[in-house]
Amino acid sequence: MMDYLYYFLLVILASYLSMTMVIFVVLARVKGKERRVKSEERKVKSEEWIVKSEKKVSVLIAARNEEDNIIRCLQALVDQNYPKDKIQILVGDDDSDDKTASLVKAFIVKHPHIELVSIEPSALSNLKGKPNVLATLFKKVTGEFAFITDADISVNPDWIKGMLLGLQREGADAASGTTFVAHQNNFHLFQTFEWMEALGFMYTADQLHLQVTAVGNNMVISKAAYDAVGGYEAIPFSVTEDLDLYLALKKKNYIHRLFLGAEALVWTQPLDTFKDLFKQRKRWLKGVERTPWLCQFYLGVHSVFALFIVALGCFDLLDGICLFFFSFIIHIVRVYLMCKVTGVPFKNSWLSHLLILDIYQTIFNVCLLVYFVLPTGVEWKKRRYV
């Protein structure tokens, strides 16, 4: 019986590690791919496509109690390397009870292309929370393309131009960029690693044309594609609104791609407590439940990999130790590749954190699994959903 368990464990580990090698190959090819598609002739052609066509864009921001973040978010959008008269910025104030609305009102005095929209409850049962905000804002969109981001996001100066060039290059109708966590301490840094590794997996799945999801805080979609799927009014409510929009696009055969690179990179603010992190990840798990089994398998093994290290160590201590350090190397390579393709410096001081990343993730995710099965519903922006 023990032999069967041992071989079963080896099959799981071999499958997981094989999939990890595929991720490495795909990520390692990103820079080469960029060099090919960004040849001087292609780059000039792409730049001319934006300049000559003068694409009008709209940026949609859902804001609820974001007084600590909203001005930083708006300032980054105002500083875009894109014609100001071609940008419409819509901020949806979702019944904030802090200074969010007053801060935005003061800011837009000098920036008339920004509009504050007070969000009212919808008569439609499927429009609640962020889906209701986005549905309301989309009705005011005047741009050919709509960018969706969150109030706690800081975009890079070339975000709009870079995402539009990516759409043109890929012939896509919608796309998601790369989001990293702006870390200030060790707890934040672990969140950064988790985002890096998750997006590396998502990019690989996207390149292999597997169903993944959109990144709801860093997304662009053509207004035509959004209207064609019926908008959020036609999408059943869920706490993972980005996944539902992604699936609606796929159902209508629209193309969504995921971009890696400095121009598609944005920074989100970290969560400061485990309590808030558990709430966020419980909401995310609701979306993971609807991904293909292959994605669930990989993410499941990845989330509690330390348990597999311990299990292998019970059969052979040396094998367990070797797997621990092999996993350490995998984390280094994975984070290094994500840094390389996004232009973010890899720091040697991260090595000690990567060494214990499996332990941290396993303890956290086991606790998260317990929290996930509790009948507490999902809390999102101080609202609870069953």
Q: For 326-361, how does the pLDDT look when each residue is reduced to its tens digit (9 = 90+)?
A: 999 999 999 999 999 999 999 999 999 999 999 999
In a domain, 130, yes or no: yes
In a domain, 209, yes or no: yes
For 266, the domain range is 54-275
Q: Is the dihedral of CA 22, 28, 33, 36 positive or negative?
A: negative
In a domain, 133, yes or no: yes
**What are the beta bridge partners of residue 154?**
267
Same-domain pairing of 328 and 214: no
- Tell me how far apart the alpha carbons of residues 158 and 80 are, in angstroms, rounded to a whole number: 6
Domain boundary among 229, 250, 275: 275
Same-domain pairing of 179 and 246: yes
pLDDT tens digit sequence for 246-297? 999 999 999 999 999 999 999 999 999 999 999 999 999 999 999 889 999 9
Same-domain pairing of 252 and 317: no
pLDDT over threshold 70, residue 19:
yes
In a domain, 192, yes or no: yes
Q: Is the dihedral of CA 315, 320, 326, 331 positive or negative?
A: positive
Same-domain pairing of 155 and 102: yes
CA 272 vs. chain centroid, Å, equals 19
- Tell me how far apart the alpha carbons of residues 201 and 205 are, in angstroms, rounded to a whole number: 6
CATH number, residue 94: 3.90.550.10
DSSP H or E segment with residue 62: strand 57-63
Domain boundary among 249, 275, 301: 275
Amino acid occupying residue 297: F
In a domain, 343, yes or no: yes
In a domain, 43, yes or no: no
Same-domain pairing of 204 and 307: no
Same-domain pairing of 264 and 332: no
Q: Where are the alpha helices (DSSP H) in the chain?
A: 2-37, 40-53, 70-78, 100-107, 129-138, 159-170, 186-207, 223-228, 241-251, 274-288, 293-303, 305-315, 317-342, 351-355, 357-373
CA geometry: angle 324, 328, 334, nearest 5 deg: 140
Same-domain pairing of 239 and 357: no
145 in Cβ contact with 60 (< 8 Å): no
Same-domain pairing of 270 and 295: no
For residue 245, count other CB atoms closer than 10 A to its CB.
26
In a domain, 228, yes or no: yes
φ and ψ at residue 180, rounded to 5 degrees: -115, 160
Same-domain pairing of 19 and 109: no
State the pLDDT at residue 40: 46
Average pLDDT value over all residues in the chain: 92
User: 133-162 burial, b if ≥16 CB within 10 A, otherwise e?
Assistant: bbbbbbeebebbbbbbbbbbbbbbebbbbb
Domain boundary among 253, 275, 297: 275
State the pLDDT at residue 246: 96
> 38 versus 165: which is more confidently predicted?
165
> 45 versus 375: which is more confidently predicted?
375
Same-domain pairing of 127 and 268: yes
Question: What's the structural domain count of the chain?
Answer: 2
Confidence of residue 46 (pLDDT cuts 50, 70, 90): low
pLDDT tens digit sequence for 113-131? 999 999 999 999 899 999 9
Same-domain pairing of 136 and 187: yes
State the pLDDT at residue 45: 54
In a domain, 46, yes or no: no
Same-domain pairing of 230 and 297: no
Amino acid occupying residue 27: L
